[in-house]
Amino acid sequence: MPETTLEVTPALLIPPHLVGQIQSKLAYVDEAIAAARVAESGDRITLALRAAGREGEIEAKVQRVVQEMAQGGIAPRVEILEDHLDRPVSYAADPLAELLARREVYEESTGIFTFGPLMSRLIEYFESRFLELAAHFDAQPYRFPTLMSAEFLDRVDYFRAFPHSLTFATHLREDLDIINQFAEKAKYEGRGLNAPAEFFSQVQALLSPAVCYHLYFSLADHPLPDGQLIATSVGTCFRYESTNLTSLERLWNFTMREVIFVGSKDFVLEHRERSRQFMQAIFEELGLAYRVETANDPFFVGEFRKQAAFQTAFQLKYEIRARLPFKDSTLAIGSYNYHQDFFGRHLGITLPDGKPIHTGCTAFGLERVAYAFLAQHGFDPAAWPVAVREALV
């Protein structure tokens, strides 16, 4: 339970386009922060603290985040590629309450949800529609592990860009005494296991934060034989979102279906665009109210300004943002990404002419698609768009 509230007046007025992005970073500023809110007006930050006594220190850290993320930043020009936000919807409540009441979702632990038959059928159906995109491109199927190599993540600078959301896989050190002590004494206490940090091994693997990276890693240090490849895979992804893990909107553990393009710049850009056009017809059949607009990845504080501006300026990321009628906002259910030759350069994957390959991917967050669909169309199949009703009822 929060003990005290801390109001902070940011030294810099937070511009509207950074209100959400700074708010989500405040979760990582101090373990005492239970919740953080940046006012829409950008001139006030309200923090709920778990304990009183360190307000000055916490405020200084908050000011550093604001400074680093907002100083000198110019508002990006958001390009809208498609706007179907006014598509008719028939539901106006947050589906989470109903899903919990029906035991359709169960929160096993913070950000970790199990899904019952309705959510599972919806997810399976939406995924089948995404597989139509994969089939359209004759994408080759791949199966990737849930664990991801720390060595490869280092090679692609992931630790610098997204350190806050990493989830590490570790195990007990190979030591008879440590394993025996753990077996005898391990207990879940308070907010976690009581085992001392020195019992655990060094980190060789993390839980995958994305799907397509596995493909690039598997192609590393070689020329790409035919100079191009289209692949598809589905995988469980992990992004630790701290106190932002408050509903089905943000999960620690979620599932992504990706269609991945590897080849020349023109090949990747053309397929990214063809993906968007193909999906436009499918989203119409699904009756989804959404829009597609330029966006940036949630880089951590120090990297944010430069990287986010670069991504937006070069239109490297388009998000598919579905309407959530109950809160008059939108939620990203997928993205169309172009990484330029970033992975080609860092991983030594080359085209037949020796130049680094380009990559891109179309990614769908399956739990979010189902959640956004229920938020727009509710639980009565009679009110669902025909295609979904016929497939599921």
In the complex, the residues that contact Zn ion under the rule CB under 5 A are: 212, 258, 361, 363
Among 150, 251, 279, 388, binds ligand AMP (CB under 6 A): 251
Query: How far apart are CB 206 and Zn ion at their closest, in Å?
Result: 16
CB contact burial 44-65 (16+ within 10 A = b; e otherwise): ebebbbeeeeebeebbeebbeb
- Hey, how many other C-beta atoms are within 10 angstroms of the C-beta on 382? 8
Quote the least distance from Cβ 248 to ligand AMP, whole Å. 8
For residue 175, the minimal CB distance to ligand AMP (Å) is: 35
Q: What is the DSSP code string of 333-366? A: EEEEEE-TTHHHHHHT-B-TTSSBPEEEEEEEEH
370 binds ligand AMP (CB under 6 A): no
**Alpha helices (runs of H) in 186-292, residue ranges in sequence order:** 212-218, 265-285
Residues 324-353 that bind ligand AMP (CB under 6 A): 332-335
Token reading at 244: 């932002």
Q: Which region, judged by CB under 6 A, interacts with ligand AMP, from 18-26, 33-41, 69-77, 247-255?
A: 247-255
Phi and psi at 47, nearest 5°, equal -115, 130
User: What string marks each residue from 180 to 219 as x (binds ligand AMP by CB under 6 A) or -?
Assistant: ------------------------------x---------
Segment 279 to 298, residues that bind ligand AMP, using CB under 6 A: 297
* Count, residues near ligand AMP per rule CB under 6 A: 16
Question: Does residue 65 touch ligand AMP according to CB under 6 A?
Answer: no
Q: What are the helix and strand counts (H, E) for the chain? A: 13, 18
232 or 376: CB nearest Zn ion: 232
Torsion angles phi and psi, residue 172, rounded to 5: -70, 145
Indicate whether 322 belongs to the interface with ligand AMP (CB under 6 A).
Answer: no
Near ligand AMP by CB under 6 A: residue from 113, 367, 375, 378: 367
C-alpha dihedral sign at 200, 205, 208, 210: positive
* 250 is a contact residue toward ligand AMP (CB under 6 A): yes
Question: Which pair of structure tokens corresponds to residue 260?
Answer: 């991945």
The DSSP code for 312 is: H
Would you tell me which residues interact with ligand AMP (CB under 6 A)?
210, 239, 241, 250-251, 254, 256, 297, 332-335, 363, 365, 367-368
